[in-house]
Amino acid sequence: MTNLELDPVEQKALLDEVTDLVQRSAPQDWSRLAVEYKAIGRHVQVGAGAKNSAGELVQWAPPEEVWNLLWRLRVGMHRPRLGTWFSTFYRLNPPADFEIVYNRDNPPQWHDEPPLRAYTDEQAMFPRDEPNLPAWFADKLRAAEEAS
C-alpha cells in the first residue's frame, strides 16, 4: 500500500471529519443535508443542499474544507489497476447519521461536460486496467487520444 492509500479506518476518520464540518455549518432547523462531489482527473464539480424540519429546501453551503477532504478520500480510495470513484453522494440526518454512496462505474451527471483532457488525466492519476475501464470511460479516452 502506498502512503496515499487509506485503509477503511482512515476512510471512516475522514468521513467523521466531513460529518463534523457539515454538522457545524448546517443552517438552523435542518433535517437533512446533502453533498455531491464529482471528479474526472482535475475537473471537479460539487453541490450541496439542505432541508429544514418542514421539508423545505434552504440555502446552505459547506465549508471549503469539505471538498478538500472528499478529494483526499478519492485519492486515498484509489487502488492499483482498479482506479477510484468518479462521484459520491453524502447525506446527513440529525444528529450525525450519515450515508455515503460511491460511483465507480457510471458517468457522473455533469453540469458542464469536462474537457477530454480530464479523462486522460484521470487515467494517468488513477490508472485502471482494461478490464476495469467502463465502456463510456474507454470511449472518452479514445476520443481524447484522437483529438490530440
Render pLDDT for 57-110 as a digit per residue (tens, 0 to 9): 999 999 999 999 999 999 999 999 999 999 999 999 998 899 999 999 999 999
Q: Is residue 1 part of a domain?
A: no
User: The domain spanning residue 68 has which CATH number?
Assistant: 3.30.500.20
The DSSP secondary structure of 13-45, one letter per residue, reads HHHHHHHHHHHHHPPTTEEEEEEEEEEETTEEE
- Which residues neighbour 116 within 8 Å (Cβ) at sequence distance 6 or greater? 140, 143, 144, 147
Q: Is residue 33 part of a domain?
A: yes
> In which domain, by residue range, is 13 found?
8-147
Amino acid at 15: L
**Angle ∠(26,28,32) on CA atoms, nearest 5:** 55
Q: Is residue 45 part of a domain?
A: yes
Q: Is residue 2 part of a domain?
A: no
Q: How many domains does the chain have?
A: 1
Q: Is residue 73 part of a domain?
A: yes
Q: Is residue 142 part of a domain?
A: yes
pLDDT in tens, 18-71: 999 999 999 999 999 999 999 999 999 999 999 999 999 999 999 999 999 999
- pTM comes to 0.92
